[in-house]
Chain A
Amino acid sequence: MQTTFAIEVDRVSKTYLSKRDQVEALNPVSFRVQSGEFVSLVGSSGCGKSTVLSLIAGLIPATSGEIRLWGERVTRPPRGIGYMLQQDCLLDWRTVKKNILLGLEFQGLKNRKTIAHARFLLRELGLAHTSEQYPSQLSGGMRQRVALVRTLALQPDILLLDEPFSALDYQNKLHLEELLINVLKKRRMTALLVTHDLEEALACSDRILIMGGQPGDIRRSLEVPEELRKAKPLHARGLPSFRPLFNEIWKEIEKP
């Protein structure tokens, strides 16, 4: 029996070409993410973490190798994935309500049912009262939640998260982590999170891929123990098994 993985990255490498030179960003890497799994990519800056996400999102072509989502090869931005960035990228000239419908508009899926669903998500994330407001009237945490609603409105089954919380203050970050995990678990979504925050990676994910080097590759895959996985992100940070693991990952990243 052959199982289909949500994400399969198969000997994928990336070299950025410019007029002057070429920069190897990624040595051939391979990994697989199961359906419903939450995987974090950590590593020093410049090791190609974000490149991996852009490749999976189909925003840039791979130099070699193949990426498959649910067994299907990615050649251009696929449907069914949601992509979140550090910047919320809300459009200043649209109200919150119109911002969250942006993806539906682009894909021609705007109808009564999808609009109602987007409204429902807005309520679920506690933003119902903001629907007629403009992004400039919202706080940083609220803006990132609106961005999350915009992503979820397309009902993706895979979420690609490129340091979505790193511009937020600590408190907001913890709130959003918990919110995100609840949303993911409830919908059985698959998620791949790129972060430089090891605590965040440990507290949120089921598995951590440690990347390193320049051009980067994957050094190690580390299963997060059951105990940490079950705890809420805030509580996980306080459990006794948290620190030793944190130090272990830290050492791995620091290795030249």
Chain B
Amino acid sequence: MKFLINRWLTRNAQSEIHADHLRRLRITDIWVGLTRTGILLLFLLGWEWSANAGWIDPFLFSSPSRIWELFLQMSATGELYRDIGITVLETVLGFILGTAGGTMIATLIWASPFLSRVLDPYLVVLNSMPKVALGPLFIVTTGAGFGSILAMGVAITIIITTLVIHSSFQSVDPDYLKLARSLGASRRQLFCSIIFPSCIPDLIAALKVNVGLAWVGVIVGEFLVSKNGLGYLIIYGFQVFNLTLVLLSLVIVALCATAMYQIVSWFERRLLHHRHL
């Protein structure tokens, strides 16, 4: 048994010292994993136990088992999945539109230095403004529903994307531009072959930030107007003092946002595996 474990820990080793090194690395990996899971279990068990023992008020703080029960109950009727679907759709759309729109505006601004100077103060003002405060405007223009929630998701991501991507366009090493021009590149070719590809790492960083921001926009949007979605569940649960529902929604939001982040990371690995970062 001990032999088997040791062989597993030292798999792919090329020599004695390499095996030692691998064993040490892998044992650390295992400890990290165990500690992580341990913390989560301890937290959940402690929560459950203190709720049952009456140390914390289960009416206010619920407990893991109550959340799980509610989850099963709501899954059975299917309403939960509809809410998840709507919110995820709004977030993904807001995220994509915001990022693509921001990149497009940045490209336009890059193409015209004049426009860039003209728009600069507007961008600064729009960026400093809390986008959530625009909520009422969205509601009166696009109606209290899907439209204004999406608008919130886009508003919160598009300006910062524009600023980040535009400054990234401008920070491309001038030697590369010199070289491309000496090779006969037109301005369009310069953009498509040199500037845009060299900004992809920054674009991905913007994507990662936007995952979080799009969730903020959509949840706040749902707080304000919605009749369904996870944000609605949170605000509804709060109003009827069903904190179990609030916590369940929070857990689901956390899981969905993490999943989106992982998808972006996967893209990052695919797109950037040749570059040294």
Contact = CB atoms under 8 A, between A and B. Distances in A.
Interface of A: 54, 57, 59, 77, 79, 81-83, 85, 87, 89, 91-93, 102-103, 105-107, 134, 136, 150, 154, 160
B276 interface: yes
Q: Give the top 10 A-B pairs by smallest Cβ distance, nearest first.
A: A83-B182, A103-B183, A106-B185, A134-B274, A107-B184, A89-B179, A92-B275, A106-B184, A136-B276, A87-B175
Interface of B: 173, 175-176, 178-186, 189, 193-194, 197-198, 200, 274-276
Contact of B180 (A106, A136, A154, A160): A106
Interface of A: prevailing SS: loop
Contact of A93 (B180, B181, B185, B197): B197
B183 A154 contact: yes
Given A102-B183, A106-B183, A89 B176 contact: yes
B198 to A, nearest CB: 8
B184 A103 contact: yes
Given A77-B181, A77-B184, A102-B193, A92 B176 contact: no
Contacts of B194: 91
Given A87-B175, A105-B193, A92 B274 contact: yes
B84 to A, nearest CB: 37
B184 A136 contact: no
A118 to B, nearest CB: 13
Contacts of B183: 83, 102-103, 106-107, 150, 154
Contacts of A79: 184
B175 A106 contact: no
A153 B161 CA distance: 38
Contacts of A136: 274-276
Contacts of A160: 182
Residue of B173, B274, B276 contacting most chain A CB atoms (<10 Å): B274
Contacts of B182: 57, 59, 77, 81-83, 160
Nearest to A133: B274
Contacts of A82: 182
6 contacts: A59-B181, A82-B182, A83-B182, A103-B184, A106-B189, A136-B274
A93 B275 contact: yes
Nearest to A153: B183
Contacts of B275: 92-93, 136
A106 B197 contact: no
Contacts of A85: 175, 178-179
A92 B276 CA distance: 8
A83 B184 CA distance: 11
Nearest to B176: A89
A87 B178 CA distance: 11
A165 B142 CA distance: 61
A160 B180 CA distance: 14
